[in-house]
Amino acid sequence: MAEQAVRPSSDRSGTQPGRRWRTVDIVVTAVLGVAFGVVFWAWGLLWAALDAPFTAFPPGQAVMYGVWLIPAVLAPLIVRKPGAALFAELIAAVVSALLGSTWGTLTIVYGLLQGLAGEAGFAAFGYRRFGWPQALLAAALTGGTAAVLDLVNFYADWSTGWMSAYVLLVVLSTTVVAGAGGMALRRALHASGALASFGSGRTRV
């Protein structure tokens, strides 16, 4: 039983990830979610503290956005299971809300929708590929989703120019920080041997 729980996630050929969640997949994804939930909460405090420098051009603050989308990209890159993006991003959002996020329970709604957007980036390839194109697509989709939610909930009175700039900057930020950053984190974990129990730990990066 214990051996089955940590067996690398792959099919018999060793080339495709299995779809069944193992204990180690659940634990690692949950730990990622909790850890990033603390990061989310702290990042929210920093976001609020830096409002003043962006007073002249509020959409510019979107360059900070990418940190909030990392779990939706990193978790699938590690565990390679459908649902990993949603699970990790939602757990992170719940933890952030419980810690006292500025945006309260709305954070959980964001986590749910951003997690689903992250899933779409990997689902588009049938959950068979977990490389740069998938990571960048997932990041861009989560960023676009988050930006639209923000415009609806907080910035509906902005001009069209500001709205467009905000969406563009959020997507760029998430693509770089969550997409490229998620791949960099996966590479670092791979090099450390921390992914030995996962299919992602047996592929070249």
pLDDT digits (tens, 9 = 90+) for 40-71: 999 999 999 999 999 999 999 999 999 999 99
Q: How many CB atoms lie under 10 A from the CB of residue 126?
A: 9
CA distance 166 to 158: 10
Q: In the CATH hierarchy, which fold is given to the domain comprising 2-202?
A: Arp2/3 complex 21 kDa subunit ARPC3 (1.10.1760)
Give the model confidence (pLDDT) of 1-22 as tens digits: 444 444 444 433 333 557 899 9
pLDDT grade for 192, boundaries at 50, 70 and 90 = confident
pLDDT at 197: 72
Q: Which two tokens stand for residue 116?
A: 């689903």
pLDDT at 12: 37
pLDDT grade for 196, boundaries at 50, 70 and 90 = confident
Non-local CB neighbours of 121 within 8 Å, separated by 6+ positions:
73, 85, 134, 135, 137, 138, 139, 140, 141, 142
pLDDT grade for 193, boundaries at 50, 70 and 90 = confident
Kindly list the domain boundaries of the chain, sorted by start residue.
Answer: 2-202
Confidence check: pLDDT of 95 > 60: yes
DSSP H helical segments within 50-131, as ranges?
Answer: 70-79, 84-98, 106-123
Q: Specify the amino acid at residue 187.
A: R
Mean pLDDT of 150-178: 98
Q: How many CB atoms lie under 10 A from the CB of residue 50?
A: 11
